[in-house]
Amino acid sequence: MRFEKSTTYRISADIQYINKDLLIILTGGNVPHIGTVTVNETNKMKTYQFHSHSGRHHKDNVLAEIILKDLNQHFKGNCVILSGVHVDQITKQEIKESFLLVQEIAQDIYHWIDEHQPQSKDPLYYKNNHEINEK
């Protein structure tokens, strides 16, 4: 499912269940990319920031964290958010707008999750309750 919001630029979130887990790809602006990977596992958030330019790191995780802030009220599984929004010569006002756009997208995601629970299957590790020894 895709959710999009825009002002002078567009931000979109593509979301999909992978069994009981949730993948969100949050991109936009003039140069979409993967700047950060933010993981929510049992309500513990971790982020990996890719290198950007001039020794800096991408800061797209601040957008992912907006989505994750209230996600646990709607979704209990693992969630990975790949984020990358770049707007050429972005202004302070456009940065503020990005937070509002992502807040709106987050609400759309929560609503979608509430109406579409994952179709999942538990993995089988043992056959007839005995560990399988591969030889």
132, 123 Cβ separation under 8 angstroms: no
Number of domains in the chain: 1
Strands 79-86 and 21-29: parallel
Domain, as residue range, for 127 = 2-131
DSSP letter for each residue of 57-80:
B--THHHHHHHHHTGGGT--S-EE
Q: 51: domain CATH number?
A: 3.30.230
Residue 41, number of CB atoms within 10 A of its CB: 12
40-74 pLDDT per residue, tens: 987 789 999 999 988 899 999 999 999 999 999 99
- Written as six digits, the tokens of 55 are 């020794």
Residue 107 DSSP label: H
99, 51 Cβ separation under 8 angstroms: no
67-122 pLDDT per residue, tens: 999 999 999 899 999 999 999 999 999 999 999 999 999 999 999 999 999 989 98
Dihedral-angle region of residue 28 (phi above 0 means left; psi in -120 to 50 means alpha; beta otherwise): left
